[in-house]
């Protein structure tokens, strides 16, 4: 981000204010509805049982924490699921190796048995005795050379059998280790699922205690918080520095993400009917021919990091200090993302949440 806060010209300022209005998060708005700047929240009702704006703000912050915890647990669940898929594939590959190894060992044993039978038919006499008893010394010597070659081949055969047996033992150990990892992953996945469901249930119960008018005021507070964050981000003049153009794959990823607007958030989902945040970004880039990690945390760890000033449409913005949320930058200070349970894939302001950094899948 550029150093210090910049003063913008009146014309540029009006453009940025308009952009702020368009991109501010309004998670309750239907896709395609123009984003309007939130007006100040209504005054608390005069009813003795009315919840004050201060109390509603506390509710909003509590909901943010609950849904954030659910997002972290969702990443844990997705990571465990991804690991389980890899471990299952590894177990299948090891099983195939074991089958081939067993077939190879059976063939080697068959050949070794044939060699042993041939040696038995020769009588097992020492070479010196066979030479003395032979009527054709030269023929014996020629035959002895072939026998020597056969003995060497038999030794090589036995050595290969030993190696094959050792390989089979190692494959079995590896398969056992993968099974243990798979079981540990299953438990981690179950624990993450339980945590997700607990956090979402707590959030839903908290919201269910609000009256209709209070829910509307809560929605206004959500919009105001997002608007305030987006405005502060734009006030830095950051858009003056962000001029990158999307790559061909980036355009394809943005097009895919755009087509998903309005589809519901569902934790652990990768489409096509619903998505969680990283499910949307990973599938968008998969559609563009670029495989990326499944979770937002792994996307942050593994993909190339880009300065915010250098980002371009298609890049992924990672949010929060624990990299628990991800969105796709689509240009002009806006993102497409799957926000949280109870919301749909939507357009929002890129600065409406705390930015950790930016990564580029096709760097």
Give the three-class secondary structure for 99. helix
**Which pLDDT belongs to residue 174?**
79
**Which pLDDT belongs to residue 192?**
81
**Residue 101: which of 165, 177, 178 has the closest Cα?**
165
Phi/psi-derived region of residue 266, left when phi > 0, alpha when psi is between -120 and 50, beta in every other case = beta
Q: Which residues are catalytic?
A: 277, 325, 337
Give the Å distances, CA to CA, from 37 to 13, 17, 54, 337, 342. 15, 10, 21, 19, 22
Is pTM beyond 0.85 here? Answer: no
Give the Å distances, CA to CA, from 191 to 73, 120, 269, 278. 9, 64, 18, 20
Residue 200, CB half-sphere, CA atoms under 13 Å: how many?
A: 18
**Residue 297: which of 335, 320, 279, 324 has the closest Cα?**
324
One digit per residue, the tens of pLDDT, for the chain of length 363 reads: 433 333 333 333 333 333 333 333 333 233 333 333 333 444 444 444 456 767 777 877 788 788 788 887 888 888 888 888 887 888 888 888 888 878 877 777 777 676 666 655 555 444 444 444 455 555 544 554 555 555 565 667 777 778 887 878 887 887 888 788 788 877 887 888 887 888 888 887 887 778 888 888 888 888 888 999 999 999 888 888 888 899 999 999 999 999 999 999 998 899 999 999 999 999 999 999 999 999 999 999 999 999 999 999 999 999 999 999 999 999 999 999 999 888 899 999 999 999 999 999 998
How far is Cα 56 from Cα 303, in angstroms, rounded to an integer? 39
**Tokens in use for 247?**
């790559």
**Residue 70: which of 220, 327, 266, 264 has the closest Cα?**
266
Residues 6+ away with beta carbon under 8 Å from 221:
41, 53, 56, 57, 60
């Amino acid at each position: 981000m550029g150093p210090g806060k910049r003063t913008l010209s009146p014309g540029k300022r009006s453009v940025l204010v308009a952009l702020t209005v368009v991109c501010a998060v309004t998670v309750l708005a239907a896709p395609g509805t123009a984003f309007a700047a939130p007006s100040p929240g209504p005054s608390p009702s005069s009813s003795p049982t009315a919840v004050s704006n201060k109390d509603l703000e506390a509710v909003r912050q509590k909901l943010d924490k609950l849904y954030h915890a659910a997002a972290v647990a969702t990443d844990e669940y997705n990571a465990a699921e991804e690991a389980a898929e890899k471990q299952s594939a590894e177990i299948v590959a090891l099983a195939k190796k074991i089958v081939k190894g067993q077939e190879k060992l059976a063939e080697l044993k068959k050949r070794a048995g044939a060699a042993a039978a041939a040696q038995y038919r020769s009588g097992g006499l020492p070479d010196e005795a066979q030479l003395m008893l032979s009527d054709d010394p030269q023929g014996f010597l020629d035959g002895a050379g072939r026998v020597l070659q056969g003995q060497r081949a038999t030794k090589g055969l036995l050595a290969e059998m030993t190696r094959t047996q050792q390989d089979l033992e190692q494959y079995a150990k590896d398969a056992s280790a993968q099974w243990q990892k798979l079981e540990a992953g299953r438990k981690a996945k179950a624990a993450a699922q339980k945590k997700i469901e607990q956090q979402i249930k707590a959030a839903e119960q908290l919201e269910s205690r609000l009256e209709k008018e209070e829910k509307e005021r809560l929605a206004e507070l959500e919009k105001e918080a997002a608007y305030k964050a987006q405005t502060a981000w734009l006030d830095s003049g950051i858009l003056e520095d962000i001029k990158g153009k999307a790559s061909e794959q980036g355009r394809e990823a943005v097009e895919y993400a755009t087509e998903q607007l309005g589809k519901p958030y569902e934790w652990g989902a990768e489409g096509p009917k619903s998505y969680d945040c990283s499910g949307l970004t990973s599938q968008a880039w998969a559609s563009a021919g670029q495989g990326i990690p499944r979770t937002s945390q792994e996307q942050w760890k593994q993909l190339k990091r880009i300065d915010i000033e250098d980002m371009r449409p298609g890049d992924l913005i990672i949010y929060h200090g624990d990299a628990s949320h991800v969105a796709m930058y689509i240009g002009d200070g806006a993102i497409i993302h799957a926000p949280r349970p109870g919301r749909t894939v939507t357009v929002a302001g890129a600065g409406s949440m705390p930015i950790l950094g930016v990564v580029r899948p096709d760097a």
